[in-house]
A and B are shown apart, each in its own frame.
Chain A
């Protein structure tokens, strides 16, 4: 199970980097807190947070006597525990109790995926039997806020932030916090995530490029030429026409393979809101650029460059084609070398892939689209005596305590301890920073400037350079010329188009999104497969507006107008 360990390593590495990157700020913060520690110790226990507002506020102060706080938590498919440890008894629960005087309890835990966690959470919410604090998504957050089931964090949030966490939560100019604000009240702490980690790039099999003597892709015309050659010129040399030029799956929009990057090449931005010339927000789905991209896809499908059966294949099925060496080009996210490419490399060591920035259809460089990254929020149950405790928990997650303690983020055999924490939130650029450090060290062949944990990552990637393909995927994500080098380039050249809407779902979104998504997928699939002419796009636009798109646009613009103020 070599690969399992490899991949855990990435997460461990990134957290280590994030923690050390912050420790500069942390120094002065720690000084402040120790000075303030003793006087405030009993203050919050005396009454509500606002009552003790004027007393010393200590972002990392310890409750004495200790308080109990209950949680609900997802134990995801990759979480593991050391012998004798459990979610209720591990380095994190000990840290919480020793440093903050918070005894963390779990009312319930769910193993599986996020969907399963939310199923359980919803029945808990409905039976009004919620823990003191838990993670929610945007929809549930809006409902909880509406029903008054959660505590207003406005009075405690800013007051209790450490400089480090303040920097984290305000790094995006406060958008993440705005998304958690209802009627001017901050109802949750957002789980800060990266807006760049899910951008799209073009992936091409370079061993095929070489074999067919093709140039690297710079323009959309290159993309067509390469996919045509990959589909028609038998790049795998088996004498059969069994290869595809462009990977597409039945969802169209996906992490692997997704068509977002292809549409971005036409300056079209599906599934997000973009400002038009007049400064109003419009849905990217119905802009004329979409039509041009669809027309090209239709042409490519007709020419046999796309799998004729893509319409019924999900991500895993397309992955089979890639791993089996039938697919040579797709648009996808930065992590795709880890899966499915690594499996392909395991089977065929000759397989080589490279990421390219999105080519553009014209002289204007293509921008990659980036959806609003905050998907999770942490909330406190209404009536819980110490709402500030959640802020403290978020503070300690980013503290020196964590940065300097290996026991809190990962073990040597790949157990990711940091997943036991009851809050989360990471520097959006942690993976990018990891790339910068690692690729510099690799290029210079000099790991001396790296911290011990970075050194571990360095050694791992070095395995590939020494001929062991086991870390090939990691090299393609973090090494020189990797996915993150493309993202770095995107950031430098300002080639990222951000979703302009990031509020809670509007009424029309709640009601109409399901129908509009179906409409879109059905129309686009039919156009691509040539079952409908390209002009069917115009009918799609009319239907889109009629079935709620117009109303949605109005509501989004009302929200947008408020943001300006």
Chain B
């Protein structure tokens, strides 16, 4: 019996093999490079010839005058991006799901993913213009409804939220597509049954659509937890400035400025390792929790 099962499962092993071989070569072999985080890595001396310095690279970062503040900024910006970035596409997907005019639905779907393809170099220039306190359109509109101009990009009170909002705006169209695909996989018979039970649109959304999306929402959230220390280098690097270092300097920009002075591979690798460990812990915990609580394996 056991033999029969193994024999029947043999194709499953064969199917996995090509991908397994590729990740072994291109992901696991290079992981040996993690040791660079514990070295004073000199490219010329290589992985084995470079001097071992233990935790010196980590200590170097901790000794920087504002590491804690930078860590706090990173966590704030990244976690807000995760939360809002998860919520908003679901919201938009549900709204689109209510649209019955197919051309409109398709049109909107196509248009909202346009910003995803714009680079931050371009968007940065646009944002500086439209968010300007003196001439920007956004502040003019705020003025019409009686608000004081807001210095979105130059004030420490606003900068992190400006980053979160503009990031979500740029990326939401893309995740919306994933959620819309999930919506199509919810069986129409469930809706029909709900209608027979007398459920209106709102009840249907609440009792059929959302539960149908829960596994994917869990999955997407879990995977995005891996980004809790990635606050978005490209965006912040283009938009931050000395006046918002207090609230906008993140791990990646700090490492970048450090690296400018010197190709500090050791420090960069140490930071990468730190981020990986944190992501790994978060993802493991949420994997275990969702398995124990909901009996659902995320992957």
**Top 5 A-B residue pairs of the complex, sorted by shortest distance between their CB atoms:** A147-B44, A126-B43, A521-B242, A311-B243, A149-B44
Known contacts A139-B262, A510-B262, A519-B65; A311 and B242 CB within 8 A of each other: yes
Q: Please encode chain A, from 284 to 318, with 1 for each CB lying within 8 Å of some chain B CB and 0 for all others.
A: 00000000000000000000000011011100110
Q: How far is the CB of A105 from chain B (nearest CB, A)?
A: 22
Q: Is B223 an interface residue (CB 8 A)?
A: no
For this complex, 30 residue pairs linking A to B, each with C-beta atoms less than 8 Å apart, are A118-B263, A122-B43, A126-B265, A128-B43, A128-B44, A139-B261, A140-B263, A143-B263, A144-B44, A146-B42, A147-B45, A250-B242, A309-B134, A312-B128, A312-B153, A312-B243, A313-B128, A316-B125, A505-B261, A505-B262, A509-B261, A510-B262, A513-B261, A514-B257, A518-B249, A519-B65, A522-B245, A525-B241, A526-B243, A547-B65
Most buried by A among B44, B45, B245: B44
Name the interface size band of chain B.
Answer: 20 to 34
The distance in angstroms between the C-alpha atoms of A510 and B245, with both chains bound, is 21
Known contacts A143-B263, A147-B45; A518 and B257 CB within 8 A of each other: yes
Can you name the residue of chain B whose Cβ is closest to the Cβ of A150? B44
Can you name the residue of chain A whose Cβ is closest to the Cβ of B254? A514
Q: What are the residues of chain B within 8 A of A311 when measuring CB–CB?
A: 154, 241-243
Most buried by B among A128, A309, A515: A309
The distance in angstroms between the C-alpha atoms of A312 and B163, with both chains bound, is 14
Chain B residues near A (Cβ < 8 Å): 42-46, 60, 64-66, 125, 128, 132-134, 151, 153-154, 239, 241-246, 249, 254, 257-258, 260-263, 265
Can you name the residue of chain B whose Cβ is closest to the Cβ of A317? B128
Known contacts A128-B44, A140-B263, A316-B125; A309 and B249 CB within 8 A of each other: no
Q: What are the residues of chain A within 8 A of B66 when measuring CB–CB?
A: 518
Q: What are the residues of chain B within 8 A of A118 when measuring CB–CB?
A: 263
Q: What are the residues of chain B within 8 A of A143 when measuring CB–CB?
A: 42-44, 263
Asked if B243 contacts A125 (CB within 8 A), the reply is no
Q: What are the residues of chain B within 8 A of A543 when measuring CB–CB?
A: 65
The distance in angstroms between the C-alpha atoms of A505 and B242, with both chains bound, is 24
Contact partner of A529 among B132, B243, B257, CB < 8 A?
Answer: B243
Q: What are the residues of chain B within 8 A of A308 when measuring CB–CB?
A: 133-134
Q: Is A39 an interface residue (CB 8 A)?
A: no
Q: Is A511 an interface residue (CB 8 A)?
A: yes
Contact partner of A514 among B42, B43, B261, B263, CB < 8 A?
Answer: B261
The distance in angstroms between the C-alpha atoms of A531 and B157, with both chains bound, is 14
Most buried by B among A125, A139, A312, A515: A312
The distance in angstroms between the C-alpha atoms of A290 and B241, with both chains bound, is 21
Can you name the residue of chain B whose Cβ is closest to the Cβ of A308? B134
Q: What are the residues of chain B within 8 A of A122 when measuring CB–CB?
A: 43, 263
Q: What are the residues of chain A within 8 A of B254 when measuring CB–CB?
A: 514
Q: Is A517 an interface residue (CB 8 A)?
A: yes
The distance in angstroms between the C-alpha atoms of A543 and B64, with both chains bound, is 12
Q: What are the residues of chain B within 8 A of A517 when measuring CB–CB?
A: 257
Q: What are the residues of chain A within 8 A of B153 when measuring CB–CB?
A: 312
Known contacts A309-B133, A311-B154, A313-B128; A515 and B262 CB within 8 A of each other: no
Can you name the residue of chain A whose Cβ is closest to the Cβ of B239? A312
Q: Is A148 an interface residue (CB 8 A)?
A: yes
Most buried by B among A128, A252, A316: A128
Asked if B44 contacts A148 (CB within 8 A), the reply is yes
Q: How far is the CB of A339 from chain B (nearest CB, A)?
A: 16
Q: How far is the CB of A288 from chain B (nearest CB, A)?
A: 22
Q: Please encode chain A, from 121 to 153, with 1 for each CB lying within 8 Å of some chain B CB and 0 for all others.
A: 010011010000000000110011011110000
The distance in angstroms between the C-alpha atoms of A144 and B134, with both chains bound, is 50
The distance in angstroms between the C-alpha atoms of A245 and B258, with both chains bound, is 35
Q: What are the residues of chain A within 8 A of B65 when measuring CB–CB?
A: 515, 519, 543, 547
Asked if A525 contacts B242 (CB within 8 A), the reply is yes
Q: What are the residues of chain B within 8 A of A510 when measuring CB–CB?
A: 261-262
Q: What are the residues of chain B within 8 A of A126 when measuring CB–CB?
A: 43-44, 46, 265
The distance in angstroms between the C-alpha atoms of A313 and B154, with both chains bound, is 10
Contact partner of B64 among A250, A316, A515, CB < 8 A?
Answer: A515
Can you name the residue of chain A whose Cβ is closest to the Cβ of B151? A309
Asked if B60 contacts A511 (CB within 8 A), the reply is yes
Q: What are the residues of chain B within 8 A of A513 when measuring CB–CB?
A: 261
